[in-house]
Structure 1
Amino acid sequence: MTRKTAPKRPPIHMIDTEADILTDLAIGAQERLPQVSELLLEEIARAKVHSAGRISMDVVTMNAQVEFVDEASGATRIVQLVYPRHADIAANRISILTPIGAGLIGLREGQSILWPDRVGHERKLTIVKVHQSACDEEVAH
C-alpha cells in the first residue's frame, strides 16, 4: 500500500509521572499488543512533559473524561481514559492500551489527530471537551 507522507501530528502534553508509568505499561505490552505499544511509546517520546500541577486542564490525562468525535463515523463519544485494569467498555472506561486510548492521551480540546484503528485504517479523532477527574485515583500497579 502506497502512503503519502503522514500529516504532522499535533503537539501533545503529558504529566511526567504518567509518562513514566505509561512507558512501563507500553514496554510490558510489547509482545501482546505490539501495535498499541509502539504507538504509545512514539507518543510519549514526542510529548512535552510537565509536572502534574503545571499541565493545562484541557489536556487529556489519565482518568480524564474525554468527549471526542470520530470523524470516520461522525459519532461523538464520551469516555474515561483509564489504566488497563480499570477498563470497562460498557461503562465507557477505555484502556490507555487500546488504539483509541493511545491516540487521545496528551491532546487538548480542539485538537485533531489522524490515528490508526485496530485494523490499521486511519481515523480522525477530534477532542471536543476534557473533564479532569476529581481525584487522581491510582497508579497503574
Structure 2
Amino acid sequence: MNRNTPTSSKPVIAIREADYGRLTALAQVTIDKDLAVGDELMAELERATVIVGEVAACRTIQMGSTTTYKTGTSEPRTVTLVYPGEADIEANRISVLTPIGVALLGLSKGQSISWIARDGTTHTLKVVSVGK
C-alpha cells in the first residue's frame, strides 16, 4: 500500500532507463521482505516516464544525482541519491530505500512532493537544484 499522497496529485517524474530495471528489482525484493518503502518505490516506478539518454536525465534526480531541496522553513539540504549499499548519512548520501529517497527520485528543479517519514509525519519538499 502506498502511504504517500495519491498518484493523481503527485508531480510528473522521469526515471533513466539504465536505472529502471535495477530499481524495479530492488523494489520487488523489498516488497517481498514486507517493507512499506518497497511499495512506495514500486508505485513511483509504475507512474514514472522512462527516459533514454543522459541529457534528459541531467534535469531530473536520478541514481547518483546530487540535489538540493528544502522542506518547510528549514535550510536547504544537499544530498546524493544512491543505492542502499552506498548510503552514508554523514556524507549526505541518501538511500533510494528511504521515504525521502523515494520522494526525491525522478523530480526536477522546482517540483514539490509530500512524503511520509517513518515516524508517520508528513513532510513536503521542494527541489531547489539538480546536479550530476
Distance 1:131 1:33, change over 3 A: farther
| Residue equivalent to 1:136 | none
Equivalent-residue separation in structure 1 for 2:56 and 2:120 (angstroms): 31
Pairwise mapping of residues 1-141 of structure 1 onto structure 2 (< 5 A)? Answer: 6=6, 8-32=9-33, 34-71=35-72, 74-132=74-132
Distance 1:121 1:58, change over 3 A: same
Equivalent-residue separation in structure 1 for 2:26 and 2:57 (angstroms): 24
Matched residue SS, 1:45: helix
* Post-superposition CA distance 1:95-116 (Å, at most 9, x none): 0100010100000000000111
CA contact (8 A) 1:14 1:55 kept: no
Shift of 1:52: 2.9
Compute the RMSD of aligned alpha carbons. Answer: 1.7
Would you say how many aligned residue pairs link Structure 1 and Structure 2?
Answer: 127
Larger Rg: 1
- The amino acid that maps onto 2:59 is D
Distance 1:115 1:107, change over 3 A: same
Equivalent-residue separation in structure 1 for 2:30 and 2:55 (angstroms): 29
Shift of 1:57: 1.8
CA contact (8 A) 2:40 2:102 kept: yes
TM-score normalised by length of structure 2: 0.88
Q: Any runs of at least 4 consecutive aligned residues in structure 1 with deviations exceeding 6 A, and if so which? A: none
Shift of 1:50: 0.9
TM-score normalised by length of structure 1: 0.83
- Which runs of 5 or more residues in structure 1 are unaligned? 133-141
Equivalent-residue separation in structure 2 for 1:125 and 1:31 (angstroms): 29
Q: Greater helix share, 1 or 2?
A: 2
